[in-house]
Amino acid sequence: MRYDVIIVGAGSAGAVLAARLSEDPNRSVLLLEAGQDYPEFEHLPDEIKFGYDTRTGDPPPRTLGGHPVSLASSPHSWQFVAKATDMAPPMAVPRGKITGGSSAINSSAFYRGVPEDFDEWAALGNDQWSFERVLPYFRKIETDVDHHDDFHGAEGPIFVHHSDRNSWHSTQAAFFNACTAQGFPETEDHNSPGSSGVGPAITNNHNRVRFSTSLGYLSQCRHRLNLTIRPDCLVRRVVLDGNRATGVVLDSGGETFSVESSQVILSAGAVGSPQLLMLSGIGPASHLSSLGIPVTLDSPGVGQNLKDHPKVYVTWRVKDGYPVEATPARGGVSLRFTAPGSDMRNDLSIGMGSFVTPRARPQSGGAHQADTSLASRRVEMMAA
């Protein structure tokens, strides 16, 4: 069968694209996902509903209501490992391998970029990306259960919560008080356009369940006859006719075959999409040639210059008997502020942890898990 559109990757963007493009009943859409799919909520694994530990290692998995919810060795993560530099230790690079993609395994942080960034893009030539232009789409995405004004949505598919101060760990409350004592302003809403300072963290959780794009978007459109969702399909490359994409080659059910389409949308993530481009012959010619891949288009920038979750972890030993947690609490408190001498507003963010780890361990995204029985009891703070 030939489709109008093939979308490769049912993740944070792919699921949204599938939902939006299939609104036209005359457009046939094929959504391909390398991981598994759970159409029924009751079949969704607890690690996807509740867990967000993506660190590799040996500590016992976090439990919630008795359910193991660790993602450290889950088949729903690609289990990528990378090094920031040749001298740095390996770090986990968690990426979702499931419908919903990384939105199904991430830490559920739901912060908008500052308006100045969008307006700068508009000033560079793309006037459709000004903050005024994108604000309606931010509102369309969300149902903010705590704030009801012109800057927040009330009918979107993704539920948004601002953490309840009563749920803060004592360490987080102390961090908040220390920030205000140092003169940082208090904010009730980090997603308000002019906000700055310290206040409740924002997450896309609903009843403690991580609300992925699969739950938010695909659940509303699975019934459409013009939308086909195919999990467990590993796309190998894009089929090209000259410089035009005409389909994909994929592995599924132990077989390799091709599927044709009028359009192909690569939405396989910051790691997967450039990989597929290079496997299809689009990328740095010297690198492709060294791997025996025929070069269709020499594009040196493909697969280069990825900057993902730049962070600095600060850890310290706590006093004996001080209450700490084995896992970080959802939400909490965060500080957004402008670094001294910087011309970019809110270019720094600090989140206060309240849990222990066997040692500080960097990671691209996600969160950490640890064991409170460890002799070395440390509290973490993250800055980005």
Structure letter (DSSP) for residue 265: E
The count of domains in the chain is: 2
Share of the chain above pLDDT 70, in %: 84
β partners of residue 301: none
Hey, what are 63's tokens?
Answer: 């439990």
Contact between 64 and 326 under an 8 Å Cβ cutoff? The reply is: no
DSSP per-residue codes, 327-379:
SPPSS-EEEEEPPTT-SSTT-EEEEE--B--SS---BSSSB----TT-SS-EE
For residues 293 and 311, what is the distance between their CA atoms, to the nearest angstrom?
A: 35
State which residues form the domain around 371.
115-203+309-383
Enumerate residues 6+ apart whose C-beta is below 8 A from 376: 317, 356, 358, 359
Same structural domain for residues 79 and 17?
yes
pLDDT on residue 59? 45
pLDDT digits (tens, 9 = 90+) for 202-261: 999 888 899 999 999 999 999 999 999 999 999 999 999 999 999 999 999 999 999 999
Same structural domain for residues 100 and 122?
no
When pLDDT is cut at 50, 70 and 90, the band that residue 357 belongs to is low
In a domain, 184, yes or no: yes
Hey, what are 145's tokens?
Answer: 């259960």
When pLDDT is cut at 50, 70 and 90, the band that residue 92 belongs to is confident
Same structural domain for residues 126 and 247?
no
β partners of residue 264: 6
Radius of gyration from C-alpha coordinates of the chain: 22
276 backbone dihedrals φ, ψ, rounded to 5°? -65, -35
pLDDT digits (tens, 9 = 90+) for 11-60: 999 999 999 999 999 999 999 999 999 999 999 998 898 865 544 444 44
In a domain, 194, yes or no: yes
Give the number of other Cβ atoms within 10 Å of residue 325's Cβ.
15
pLDDT on residue 265? 99
